[in-house]
Amino acid sequence: MMSLAVLRKVPKMNKPIYDIVIAGAGPAGLTAALYAGRSRLKTRILEKFNPGGQILLTETIENFPGIFQMKSVEWVGVMRKQLADLKEVEISEEASVKKIEAKDGLFKTIVVSQGGRHEEVVESKAVIIATGAQPKKMGIPGEDALTGRGVSYCATCDGPLYRDKEVVVVGGGDTAIEEALYLRKFAKKITVVHRREALRATAVLRERVLGDEKIVFQWDSVPLEVVGKMRVEGLRVRNVKNNQENTLSCDGVFVFIGFTPDTAFLRSTLDLSDAGYILTDENMMSSATGIFACGDCRLRPFSQVVTACGEGAIAAFAAAKFLENKI
Ligand code: NAP
Would you state the pLDDT for residue 115? 84
Contacts of 84 (CB under 8 A, 6+ apart): none
Euclidean distance between CA atoms 307 and 196, whole angstroms:
28
Mode of pairing for the β-strands spanning 189-193 and 166-170: parallel
How many domains does one find in the chain? 2
Residue ending a domain, among 255, 275, 298, is: 255
Do 291 and 309 lie in one domain? The reply is yes
Euclidean distance between CA atoms 266 and 252, whole angstroms:
35
Mean pLDDT, range 196-224, rounded to an integer: 97
Do 220 and 291 lie in one domain? The reply is no
Residue in 157, 212, 271, 281 annotated catalytic: 157
Residue ending a domain, among 215, 232, 255, is: 255
Do 145 and 167 lie in one domain? The reply is yes
Do 122 and 263 lie in one domain? The reply is yes
Question: Per-residue pLDDT for 247 more than 80?
Answer: yes
3 occurs within a structural domain? no
Do 91 and 149 lie in one domain? The reply is no
Mean pLDDT, range 268-297, rounded to an integer: 98
User: Is 157 a known active-site residue?
Assistant: yes
Q: Whats the size of the chain, residue-wise?
A: 327
Mean pLDDT, range 242-246, rounded to an integer: 98
Strand partners, 135: 259
Mean pLDDT, range 212-228, rounded to an integer: 98
Confidence of residue 9 (pLDDT cuts 50, 70, 90): low
Do 128 and 146 lie in one domain? The reply is no
175 lines ligand 1 (CB under 6 A): yes
User: Is 294 a known active-site residue?
Assistant: no
Would you state the pLDDT for residue 157? 87
User: What proportion of the chain, given as a percentage, has pLDDT over 90?
Assistant: 89
Would you state the pLDDT for residue 14? 80
Contacts of 121 (CB under 8 A, 6+ apart): 108, 109, 110, 111
6 occurs within a structural domain? no
Would you state the pLDDT for residue 11? 57
Euclidean distance between CA atoms 78 and 55, whole angstroms:
13
Q: Which of 60, 181, 200 to mutate to test the pocket of ligand 1 (most atoms within 8 A of CB)?
A: 200
Would you state the pLDDT for residue 327? 87
Tell me: the pLDDT tens digits for 54-100? 898 888 898 999 999 999 999 999 999 999 999 999 999 999 999 99
Confidence of residue 4 (pLDDT cuts 50, 70, 90): very low
Residue having the nearest C-alpha atom to atom 38 of ligand 1: 174
Would you state the pLDDT for residue 7? 53
Torsion region of 8: left, alpha or beta (phi above 0 gives left; psi -120 to 50 gives alpha): beta
- Phi–psi pair at 226, nearest 5 degrees: -90, 120
- Phi–psi pair at 213, nearest 5 degrees: -70, -20
DSSP letter assigned to residue 50: S
Domain with 52, as residue range(s), is 16-134+259-323
Do 32 and 112 lie in one domain? The reply is yes
Mean pLDDT, range 133-154, rounded to an integer: 96
5 occurs within a structural domain? no
Do 209 and 104 lie in one domain? The reply is no
118 occurs within a structural domain? yes
Lowest mean pLDDT among 34-38, 87-91, 111-115, 246-250: 111-115
Question: Per-residue pLDDT for 2 more than 60?
Answer: no
DSSP letter assigned to residue 34: H
Count of Cβ atoms closer than 10 Å to residue 125 Cβ: 18
Question: Per-residue pLDDT for 1 more than 50?
Answer: no
142 occurs within a structural domain? yes
Do 34 and 86 lie in one domain? The reply is yes
Would you state the pLDDT for residue 60? 86
The CATH number of the domain where 234 resides is what? Answer: 3.50.50.60
1 occurs within a structural domain? no
Ligand 1 mean position, distance from CA 89 (Å): 34
158 occurs within a structural domain? yes
Do 280 and 296 lie in one domain? The reply is yes
Would you state the pLDDT for residue 175? 95
Do 97 and 240 lie in one domain? The reply is no
CB–CB of 86/32 below 8 Å? no
Do 23 and 124 lie in one domain? The reply is yes
191 occurs within a structural domain? yes
- Phi–psi pair at 98, nearest 5 degrees: -105, -30
Residue having the nearest C-alpha atom to atom 30 of ligand 1: 303
Residue ending a domain, among 255, 279, 301, is: 255
Strands, sheet with 166-170, edge to edge from the N-terminal-most edge strand: 151-152, 252-255, 166-170, 189-193, 215-218
- Give how far Cα 188 sits from Cα of 160, 180, 221, Å: 12, 12, 22
What is the residue-averaged pLDDT of the chain? 94
304 lines ligand 1 (CB under 6 A): yes
